[in-house]
Structure 1
Amino acid sequence: MVRRMRVFLLATLCWAGLVASPLNAQPVTPPYEMVRTLQSLQAQVAQGNSQALAAQRALLLRMENDFMDAPAVVWQDPRNARAAVIHLLSGGHPAVMRELMKFDPLPSIDVNLMNGALAYVEGREQQAAELLSGFDPRELPPSLGGHVALALAAVTVREKPEAALTYLGLARLLLPGSLVEEAALRREVFVAGTLDNIERFQSLSITYLRRFRNSIYAPDFRRRFMLAIDTLGFAKSPEKFALIESLFNEFDEDTQRTLYLRMARTALLHGQLEIVRKVVDRAIPLAMGGTREEAMLKIYMAGATMDAKNIKLVRDTLWSVDKTLLEPDELDLLDAVYSVMNSVRHWPEPPVNVIGEFSSFTPGNKPGDPEWITPVMSHANQLLTETGKLLDKAGNP
């Protein structure tokens, strides 16, 4: 398989003129054929091929040089003119399009399409939306229409998210299996999320993970998915959690563990203890012993299972947590769980500065005390001092 892929890439680069032939010939490839090669490489990128990603970058550079050197007559072929726009929307340098727009006559394509694509890649969203909205992606050749639909979605999503969803769906339909489909699907998931369309968010996420889980850009999907878990409130509502629960199985174990940890913390802080218990039960088998992840899961489970009947079990669980593995904010959470445990033990209210086997010994020093001195130590020192004074008085009547 690896050998076939190397042969494929070598043949692709030779076809595009990136690798010299045995006779050192430098074939002149029409722009539209170079774009076909580019899209073929991008399809491999969407499947996670890092070699294809490197080849794509090299090909884009070669296309920029060849396109800049091509005479005006080349761009009178509509296929080549469309190729110039596709190249730009695929990551090509905008200087190429600016150079082509100096020709007289102009390339054989609507000038608004060239200007709209240029405005899009240069970040002029309003102008891009005005220029590109005059084109129906379905009426363009699919290789170009998919790119235009993706661009239209990007420039309309802020003000018209529903319209952006339509454009993203069109992009996927026009260029199935391509990097355009991968990008459109990845973005469509989160637009659906912002619209609180949970069922669509779920179904699109599953589709992405099953089609493009190995994509070079899948890490971006996972990062944004984790943010969406918080934003959409899946850990704050049992009903929403039930909708998303099965989706986690689509992720790899490392991602599952990270998602479960994130959900457990959010659910605990919002009092959704049943969600915490479910999430921790699933996450514990995925966490290695003696790790920070396992320590945090113990804290979450302790916080979610605390009542008078099992208070000793909760105590033992918390005592097994290695504090040296925790960050400052995580130590704060541990102290908060200890505090709740003390409240359960000493209902209705724990005594001030409770000392004993259930104490978390949280920081709370007097002004001027070193950081390593705990309240218990300060209190003990005070008692010793007072005892010493009493003994002095007893010995010196």
Structure 2
Amino acid sequence: MGRLNLQRLIPALSLLGLVWTGTAPAEELDRVEPYKVLRSLQFVQDLVVLGDHSAAEMQRFMLETIDKRLRGAAPAIFADPRNVDASLIYAMSGGNPATLEFLVARDIDGNFDNRVTDALRKYLSGKGTLIANTLGDMVAEYRDTRIAPYLALVAGNVMIPRDPAKALEFYDWARLTAPGTIVEEAALRRSLAVAVEGGMVDKASAYANRYARRFLHSPYASQFADLFVQLVVEHHEAFDGSEITATLAYMDNDRQREVYLRIARQAAIKGRNELARQAADKSKLLSGTAEGADALANLYGGLAGIPTNEVGAAIAAIAAIPDEILSPSDRALRDAAAAIAEEVVRKPEPISPAQDSEPNVVPSNDESVGEAISEDVQQDPTAPPSVPAGTQPGPAELKTAGAKDPDPEFRSFVDTGRSKLDAIDDLLKQEGTN
């Protein structure tokens, strides 16, 4: 560890009853009660989610420390229920699952509740759905104990596939009984995910606001931002716009601009054009002197302008964006947008003499021409163009029509359009999965 981390470690060590001398604790860690070591771990983890990112290294140190202490402890030390609880909380706080197995195997005095340890062992091995109901019962039974908030968090995790509403109840209980801790942070973040996926717009909005107010500087806040953008884009029509402003009000200008840019990008990709334009405009207002910020807003706003009568301005805005300020994915997005815009403003090809001499091959009225092009572009490139039901010519008609290929220029236009649209579709599918 660096000097700064050693200085920050002093409060955690003081919880252990140790004095830091600069080289080693005055009292060996293997003589400290496990529950005291756990307090230091909890202290450090809470620092992390409250914004002290340098404490992440200390968290790893404390996890290693408590793991060694638990494995080296005499079995008699677990006659103290506080040390048993420390072992269980350690296992539910990112600790080594094998250590819990080790302690349970050595428990000849019955200090551990086998129901709890069996449930946690299944959960930690990825079989949590098998004990969802059991964990729910344990949350009620252990409601007033030290392990209760952690059990509620675990119960919420395993209940999501079976009963999302019940999972939210467990998360609510976990965060309300452990305010300001890593438990509350995890419960709020997971509650937001459940509510967004379930389309619970009001609940999701409330969870998002609470998270922004309390844990905006957590290292896990990027997951919150992803979920908030998903909420706004996917449920914009049911979402009160003022709630977006209220949630983002807890952020500085740079964070707000970043969120608005992400909203504009996802909205443009998913065809929420009005939302994309609004978010891009708000991002511009917050750009200040940030290099490239307006360019990205112009890109995402330009995407939204392509299907409108402002397509000319959108093309100009997109074309003016230099390559060097765009990421590879944004450059690909810009190129796709330019290709679409080119097709939107492209003038129809005049009828060639070859087309005019083959009236039986290409439909003569505008409506049927558009229908034929649409069908041809949507089909698999290797498949022949489809013919509307009821108009399939018979053998005699084919023979008299000569069954010649359409005009080469027309065929080239259709093939070019198909290849561009296929490429754009592939790009947008990839973007939609990010």
TM-score bucket of the superposed structures, by smaller chain: 0.7 to 0.9
Partner in structure 2 of residue 334 of structure 1: 338
Partner in structure 2 of residue 217 of structure 1: 220
Matched-pair contact (CA < 8 Å) for 1:20–1:26:
no
Partner in structure 1 of residue 43 of structure 2: 40
Q: Matched residues in 2 for 1:223 and 1:93: separation?
A: 29
1:105 pairs, out of 105, 108, 128, with: 108
Q: Matched residues in 2 for 1:159 and 1:206: separation?
A: 26
Matched-pair contact (CA < 8 Å) for 1:152–1:164:
yes
Q: Matched residues in 2 for 1:86 and 1:155: separation?
A: 17
Matched, 1:81 2:78: no
Instruction: Give unmatched runs, 5+ long, in structure 1.
Output: 344-349, 354-363, 368-397
Q: Matched residues in 2 for 1:40 and 1:182: separation?
A: 14
Give the match's secondary structure for 1:49.
coil
Shift of 1:129: 2.2
Matched-pair contact (CA < 8 Å) for 1:81–1:107:
no
2:27 pairs, out of 25, 28, 43, with: 25
Partner in structure 2 of residue 381 of structure 1: none
Matched, 1:150 2:145: no
Shift of 1:338: 4.1
Matched-pair contact (CA < 8 Å) for 2:34–2:70:
yes
Identity of aligned residues (%): 26
In structure 2, relative to structure 1, the CA distance for the partners of 1:47 and 1:268 (3 Å cut) is: closer
Q: Matched residues in 2 for 1:318 and 1:91: separation?
A: 46
- Normalised to the residue count of structure 1, the TM-score between the two structures is 0.74
Matched-pair contact (CA < 8 Å) for 1:280–1:301:
no
Aligned AA (2:283): A
Partner in structure 1 of residue 244 of structure 2: 245
Shift of 1:178: 0.7
Partner in structure 2 of residue 351 of structure 1: 348
Aligned AA (1:10): I
Matched-pair contact (CA < 8 Å) for 1:175–1:181:
yes
Aligned AA (2:182): L
Q: Matched residues in 2 for 1:277 and 1:23: separation?
A: 59
Q: Matched residues in 2 for 1:289 and 1:298: separation?
A: 17
Matched-pair contact (CA < 8 Å) for 2:261–2:297:
no
In structure 2, relative to structure 1, the CA distance for the partners of 1:262 and 1:339 (3 Å cut) is: farther
Matched-pair contact (CA < 8 Å) for 1:46–1:179:
yes
C-alpha RMSD of the superposition: 3.4
Q: Matched residues in 2 for 1:65 and 1:122: separation?
A: 21
Give the match's secondary structure for 1:143.
coil
Partner in structure 2 of residue 260 of structure 1: 260
Aligned AA (1:242): G
Aligned AA (2:349): V
Q: Matched residues in 2 for 1:68 and 1:365: separation?
A: 75
Q: Decide which moves more: 187-196 or 280-289.
A: 280-289
Give the match's secondary structure for 1:133.
helix
Q: Decide which moves more: 8-17 or 93-102.
A: 8-17
1:230-309 paired onto structure 2 within 5 Å: 230=233, 232-234=234-236, 237=237, 239-240=238-239, 242=241, 244-246=243-245, 247-268=247-268, 272-287=272-287, 288=290, 292-297=295-300, 299-300=302-303, 302-303=305-306, 306=309
Matched-pair contact (CA < 8 Å) for 2:315–2:338:
no
Aligned AA (1:329): L
Aligned AA (2:241): A
Instruction: Give unmatched runs, 5+ long, in structure 2.
Output: 351-409, 414-434
Partner in structure 2 of residue 134 of structure 1: 137
Matched-pair contact (CA < 8 Å) for 1:13–1:19:
yes
Q: Deviations over 1:136-158 (max 9, x none)?
A: 35744453100000000001111
1:145-184 paired onto structure 2 within 5 Å: 145-184=148-187
Matched, 1:9 2:9: yes
Matched-pair contact (CA < 8 Å) for 1:74–1:80:
yes
